[in-house]
Structure 1
């Protein structure tokens, strides 16, 4: 976030060089102005001996102050950790809320994240959301119908409402591609929960809510201390499907065709798309696979 400092100008006649002053000048006390997380400092200078009704000249100095502070729900998971790492690399302050707290593996970026162990259903949001500029939710998972509705839907609904109540400007949800599935398959607890969460984000944050809908996400995933190289499958598949997309487009209308034809998405692309959402106020709404990759490229450049 960029903040603007409004500082006075000392006219060339007042200070002819950086090392000599022909005449003294007088500074009035600075005034601070705050508005929507931006601030300005206004000061006035006048030459000694100059009449009080003389106009004072001013200068605007723009300073880039990194003041984004995001809360990542599920920050030590596969997608969540990639988001935390990308945010840290961009100078964004990161807080992660997840059940197990700090991950067991090491990394320079890990030390720069504030890890809070907790459950969205019972957490003290005062400790988590204070000063945040965006909440990013990676909450989701599989299980029984009841469990999937709870973790994919209800948990995210609780988080969205907490963020809204605390006045957090943005909410970003990592959801899932529909895969062009027939409606009876989309009625499962997994997709029902996801759709419920999406609806809550777009309802409570119509002009700043973000829903990313990637397909299969690949990268190096850590499970119980082991690293699973999903990129060995996902990356070639993404390149192959990209190369033949002109031939497969006519098939996209077939039910469930995207189970085979939807290109995988790199976990790094998902993370960078989130960063784009955090830093770009014009980035909101629902984003498809291709749009996620486009958003990531903006940050990568």
Structure 2
């Protein structure tokens, strides 16, 4: 807080009234905490001809900090639900839009903190869904035939980016995929071409605030129809082994497709926290690799 010196002293009655009033200030310094805070400050004033003791007059300063409101596309999926959970734990208002289902069937405590909506991004009521949103996080993606992969990985995300931009949403976060050092003829499949087109759209529409996360294999506890599949039983040990062996395997990185075996898996919690980091920090934008995703997650944990 800065102190200012006035060239002249106002009448005593005016100064008393000014001291008794609260002042509101707005903070935009990242990370933006989701809750407003009240601060009591004691100030000393040397004013002539004031009989009452004003040496310790409390001034309430209310910091009205903007509440984040994010829209998660594919929020009931493996990665999407982890992002919704992480966002809710940080006090972020969350709206989820999923094509096939609304609210998940399981009853974890965080589920009730999310607004669940079912719908297709190609026909979504964007005016309603994006109202007041400060960021969109897209986990849209999937496999199928060439046309299906181009549509869900590429076109669906492109539509969402356009809608977010048209509605004035300040940030877009895309969960994409590592290229695994594959040769170009393999990267020409609908899955990768769709993802890369979506990336280009994000970085074009949001050059100073768009975020692309490129994880490799994502592991964690995945819930399907009430059953929990512990993918972390394989993913976590494999991640630790590959990270420990990086110095030995680095010379192999130049071999096309080597990353299919050598790229470390990423925890779904790390991907989720990296996405939330992107929501909180205005200087977090661009394309983020596996290592950078892990670093961003660690930053939010600290």
TM-score under structure 1 length normalisation: 0.82
Q: Deviations over 1:162-202 (max 9, x none)?
A: 00001101000000000000000000000010000000000
Q: 1:158 matched to which residue of 2?
A: 159
CA distance, structure 1, for counterparts of residue 60 and residue 187 of structure 2: 55
The alpha carbon displacement at 1:127 in A equals 1.1
Query: What secondary structure is seen at the aligned counterpart in 1 of 2:284?
Result: coil
CA distance, structure 2, for counterparts of residue 256 and residue 24 of structure 1: 74
CA distance, structure 1, for counterparts of residue 283 and residue 191 of structure 2: 30
1:275–1:25 CA distance, 2 compared to 1 (3 A): same
The alpha carbon displacement at 1:90 in A equals 0.6
Q: Indicate conservation of the 8 Å contact 1:66/1:92, yes or no.
A: no
Alignment of 1:80-159 (within 5 A): 80-99=80-99, 100-159=101-160
Which has more strand, going by share of residues? Answer: 1
CA distance, structure 2, for counterparts of residue 269 and residue 58 of structure 1: 43
CA distance, structure 1, for counterparts of residue 24 and residue 301 of structure 2: 36
Alignment of 1:185-224 (within 5 A): 185-224=186-225
Alignment of 1:66-77 (within 5 A): 67-77=67-77
The alpha carbon displacement at 1:222 in A equals 1.5
Q: Indicate conservation of the 8 Å contact 1:179/1:262, yes or no.
A: yes
CA distance, structure 2, for counterparts of residue 235 and residue 33 of structure 1: 45
The alpha carbon displacement at 1:228 in A equals 1.1
Question: How many equivalent pairs are there?
Answer: 272
Q: 2:180 matched to which residue of 1?
A: 179
Which has more helix, going by share of residues? Answer: 2
Query: What secondary structure is seen at the aligned counterpart in 2 of 1:281?
Result: coil
Q: Indicate conservation of the 8 Å contact 2:22/2:61, yes or no.
A: no
TM-score under structure 2 length normalisation: 0.82
Q: Indicate conservation of the 8 Å contact 2:25/2:61, yes or no.
A: no
Unaligned stretches of 5+ residues in structure 2 = 2-11, 37-46, 51-56
Q: Indicate conservation of the 8 Å contact 2:27/2:63, yes or no.
A: no
CA distance, structure 2, for counterparts of residue 26 and residue 286 of structure 1: 49
1:164–1:82 CA distance, 2 compared to 1 (3 A): same
Matched, 1:270 2:271: yes
Q: Deviations over 1:232-277 (max 9, x none)?
A: 1100000000111000000001000000000000000000001110
Query: What secondary structure is seen at the aligned counterpart in 1 of 2:124?
Result: coil
Q: Indicate conservation of the 8 Å contact 1:74/1:98, yes or no.
A: yes
The alpha carbon displacement at 1:117 in A equals 1.0
Query: What secondary structure is seen at the aligned counterpart in 1 of 2:121?
Result: coil
